[in-house]
Chain A
Amino acid sequence: MFELSREHEEFRRSVRDFAEAEIAPHSEAWDRDHHFPVDVVQQMGKLGLFGLTAPEEYGGADGDFTGLCVAIEEIGRVDQSMGVTLEAGVGLGINPILTFGTDEQKQTWLPDLVSGQRLAGFGLTEPGSGSDAGATRTKAVLVDGEWVVDGAKQFITNSGSDITSCVTVTARTGQSADGKAEISTIVVPSGTPGFTVEPAYRKLGWHASDTHPLTFEDVHVPEGNLLGERGRGLAQFLATLDDGRVAIAALAVGCIQACLDLSVKYSLERTTFGVPIGRKQGVAFQISDLAVMAETARLLTYKAAAIKDAGRSVQEFKQAAAIAKLYSTESAVTATRIATQVFGGYGFMEEYPVARLYRDAKVLEIGEGTSEVQRMLIARGLGLPVE
């Protein structure tokens, strides 16, 4: 039988207690006001959530990936915006610096990020390049020992909050021998002249998550801000993408579980024609489907996490990550549709969390690799010559 360790379950309880006491009471207001709650993000930091997988020398817990997925699931169960703030804070903020940074870069940036007192963003997506990350147009030129960055990024999470310390951006730094763009990653500290955080987006969901377009005009940073190897920027990024897929799958599991919990509760309380709506097969059977989705998505997600934690082959992890991401996120969208249906007219009202979940779920099928990309990866994993 597959189950999480006692410690992981106790940690789940702790994060759930935190989420229900410190986040849930405010989620509706944050969503309505598009408010990014810096203080609560820092409280999540004090609970050690951002440092779960980081080494102890930077203040982390040296824990496993499974533990991080538990945290993302439980935070996401009450607030998807806070869930993705954690997911991106670790996967896109901390991990690239942790994996590819020099000792000096790690000492400079990691302690504050690991303690969750500051955040970092990762600028990959551009107006003209999302899934096709190789088409990056932002460029960086080395002039007199400094990188000069010009270009624009979009949809960058945690990039413009009051506690954002830096954004790691991918940029063309030249051309390789075969004519392909040479892509490198460079750390740009917040507040560097010419680095502008544009006003936040008007998004369908994730209203409390900090997401901005960024522009870079003649931005000078020290040569030492190159992260990892020159020309390996894209490869480096791709190497961390599989983790992100599983983390988003965990966020989707939290979303499905929320739909299930809310629907069960509501269908026992809400009466029509004198009986709770849970007595109606039309309602009850849909909720049964939610339970199947929650269970299946959770199994796939934690199986993928367990494969990573066990250090099994990259190939095996890639396939498991893509399958978990595809199934969990598409199920989350279906689950929010079912939950809003169970709630009937109230499901269309913003004071009921299912309405927010309905808006929040859609992006899960898009971020960290669209469903189409996942299907492509899975097909390739099966040996099919899909384009």
Chain B
Amino acid sequence: MNIVVCVKYVPDATGDRRFNDADHTVDRVGVDGLLSELDEYAVEEALKIVEASDGSEGEVTVLTVGPEQAADAIRKSLQMGAHKGVHVLDDAIHGSDAAATSLLLAEAIKKVGAESAWDLVICGMASTDGSMSVVPAMLAERLGVAQVTFGSEISVTGDMVSIRRDGDTATETVEASTPLVLSVTDQSNEPRYPSFKGIMAAKKKPVETWSLADLGVPAEQVGLAAAWTKVDASAARPPREAGTIVTDEGDGAARLVEFLAGQKFI
């Protein structure tokens, strides 16, 4: 089974994250970045599926759209065990929204498929920066294949994929046949840590870099100008203000109740 995994390079949530002053897009250049943690589950799921199905038969191709540093997201995926990488890189892509991203991913997946047919496209459930969760659905639409999102347990038998989806009030199990776009949650597996062997092996794995021209996508269909929405202004969240201290002078309980009632907590 051949699988394409879409991954995103995102700012490290443990570091400082900010928007660019000029165009209010997420600053991906001046901050530490990494493979989105939610996409690690997608990579792991793909590796597990390929390993379970005669291993040598299938290949995992990891695909990203992003600036130069996004190569790190591919690198980490290759270190985990993916077989090859594709990086869609072009200055004109800067500022692309989910719709344009899904277009680029779809065209890149078609190009991957022209070389060797794929059975599954796996995405994370959301990115840890944008948190939109819409790219998998848009991607399936563009590719004209079925989609099952938010899978928490996946099993593959032949060309049938069984997916458990955990909702707030019910759990359902959905069956779908390949080709299929699938997104997986952070409940689906335990992503592996890259081993030293994996890190060394990744150095020799092929990574292709494709431009808009390689994909045949006109520049005016992507980027900030083509986005369906526009951010007019952005500002850092103001620092949290110091709380109110209620000093107990024998009437502490009553004053606490008064405070909580005033805030409509009780």
Q: How many angstroms between the C-alpha atoms of A18 and B198 in the bound complex?
A: 15
Partner of B196, one of A11, A17, A46: A11
A contact residues around B79 at 8 Å (CB): 10, 14
Partner of A63, one of B75, B192, B193, B196: B196
Min distance, Cβ A179 to any Cβ of chain B, angstroms? 47
Say yes or no for B200: interface residue by CB 8 A criterion. Answer: yes
Say yes or no for A47: interface residue by CB 8 A criterion. Answer: yes
A7 — nearest CB in chain B belongs to which residue? Answer: B199
Contact B200 A14 (CB under 8 A): no
Say yes or no for A48: interface residue by CB 8 A criterion. Answer: yes
Contact A7 B203 (CB under 8 A): yes
Contact A47 B199 (CB under 8 A): no
Say yes or no for A67: interface residue by CB 8 A criterion. Answer: yes
Min distance, Cβ A30 to any Cβ of chain B, angstroms? 20
Say yes or no for A208: interface residue by CB 8 A criterion. Answer: no
CB contacts under 8 Å to A, within B33-91, are 75, 79
Say yes or no for A61: interface residue by CB 8 A criterion. Answer: yes
Say yes or no for B173: interface residue by CB 8 A criterion. Answer: no
Min distance, Cβ B51 to any Cβ of chain A, angstroms? 13
Partner of B193, one of A17, A61, A67: A17
B contact residues around A61 at 8 Å (CB): 195-197, 200
B75 — nearest CB in chain A belongs to which residue? Answer: A10
A-contact 0/1 string along B187-214, CB 8 Å cutoff = 0000011111111100100000000000
Contact A48 B203 (CB under 8 A): no
Contact B193 A14 (CB under 8 A): yes
Contact A63 B194 (CB under 8 A): no
A contact residues around B193 at 8 Å (CB): 14-15, 17-18, 47
Min distance, Cβ A44 to any Cβ of chain B, angstroms? 10
Interface size on B, residues (CB 8 A): 12
Say yes or no for A305: interface residue by CB 8 A criterion. Answer: no
Say yes or no for A52: interface residue by CB 8 A criterion. Answer: yes
CB contacts under 8 Å to B, within A18-50, are 18, 46-48
A-contact 0/1 string along B179-192, CB 8 Å cutoff = 00000000000001
Contact B200 A48 (CB under 8 A): no
B contact residues around A10 at 8 Å (CB): 75, 79, 194, 199
A contact residues around B195 at 8 Å (CB): 14, 47-48, 61
Q: How many angstroms between the C-alpha atoms of A107 and B75 in the bound complex?
A: 34
B79 — nearest CB in chain A belongs to which residue? Answer: A10
A67 — nearest CB in chain B belongs to which residue? Answer: B196
A contact residues around B192 at 8 Å (CB): 46
A contact residues around B199 at 8 Å (CB): 7, 10-11, 14
CB contacts under 8 Å to B, within A58-102, are 61, 63, 67, 71
Kindly state the interface size class of chain A when it binds its partner: 10 to 19
B contact residues around A67 at 8 Å (CB): 196
Partner of B200, one of A7, A15, A18, A71: A7
Min distance, Cβ B68 to any Cβ of chain A, angstroms? 16
Most buried by B among A11, A15, A63: A11
B contact residues around A11 at 8 Å (CB): 194, 196, 199
A contact residues around B194 at 8 Å (CB): 10-11, 14
Q: How many angstroms between the C-alpha atoms of A7 and B76 in the bound complex?
A: 11
Min distance, Cβ B36 to any Cβ of chain A, angstroms? 14
A contact residues around B203 at 8 Å (CB): 7
A60 — nearest CB in chain B belongs to which residue? Answer: B197
Q: How many angstroms between the C-alpha atoms of A71 and B200 in the bound complex?
A: 15
Min distance, Cβ A24 to any Cβ of chain B, angstroms? 14
A48 — nearest CB in chain B belongs to which residue? Answer: B195
A contact residues around B75 at 8 Å (CB): 10
CB contacts under 8 Å to A, within B77-128, are 79
Q: How many angstroms between the C-alpha atoms of A321 and B200 in the bound complex?
A: 26
Min distance, Cβ A13 to any Cβ of chain B, angstroms? 9
Q: How many angstroms between the C-alpha atoms of A7 and B193 in the bound complex?
A: 14
Min distance, Cβ B249 to any Cβ of chain A, angstroms? 23
Most buried by B among A10, A18, A52, A63: A10
B contact residues around A52 at 8 Å (CB): 196
Min distance, Cβ A90 to any Cβ of chain B, angstroms? 13
Min distance, Cβ B13 to any Cβ of chain A, angstroms? 14
Q: How many angstroms between the C-alpha atoms of A52 and B199 in the bound complex?
A: 12
Q: How many angstroms between the C-alpha atoms of A11 and B199 in the bound complex?
A: 7
B contact residues around A71 at 8 Å (CB): 196
Q: How many angstroms between the C-alpha atoms of A385 and B20 in the bound complex?
A: 67
Q: How many angstroms between the C-alpha atoms of A328 and B198 in the bound complex?
A: 30
Q: How many angstroms between the C-alpha atoms of A281 and B203 in the bound complex?
A: 46
B contact residues around A63 at 8 Å (CB): 196-197, 200
Q: How many angstroms between the C-alpha atoms of A7 and B196 in the bound complex?
A: 8
A contact residues around B200 at 8 Å (CB): 7, 61, 63
CB contacts under 8 Å to A, within B10-41, are none
Q: How many angstroms between the C-alpha atoms of A61 and B199 in the bound complex?
A: 10
B contact residues around A7 at 8 Å (CB): 196, 199-200, 203
Q: How many angstroms between the C-alpha atoms of A276 and B124 in the bound complex?
A: 41
Min distance, Cβ B85 to any Cβ of chain A, angstroms? 15
Q: How many angstroms between the C-alpha atoms of A67 and B200 in the bound complex?
A: 11
Min distance, Cβ A60 to any Cβ of chain B, angstroms? 8
A61 — nearest CB in chain B belongs to which residue? Answer: B197
9 new A-B contacts, CB < 8 A, other than A10-B79, A46-B192, A67-B196, are A7-B200, A7-B203, A14-B79, A14-B195, A17-B193, A18-B193, A47-B193, A48-B197, A61-B195
Hey, which bits of chain B sit against chain A, CB under 8 A? 75, 79, 192-200, 203
Top 5 A-B pairs ranked by shortest CB distance? A48-B195, A61-B197, A14-B194, A18-B193, A61-B196
Interface pairs (23), CB distance under 8 Å: A7-B196, A7-B199, A7-B200, A7-B203, A10-B194, A10-B199, A11-B194, A11-B196, A11-B199, A14-B79, A14-B193, A14-B194, A18-B193, A47-B193, A47-B195, A48-B195, A48-B196, A48-B197, A52-B196, A61-B195, A61-B200, A63-B200, A67-B196
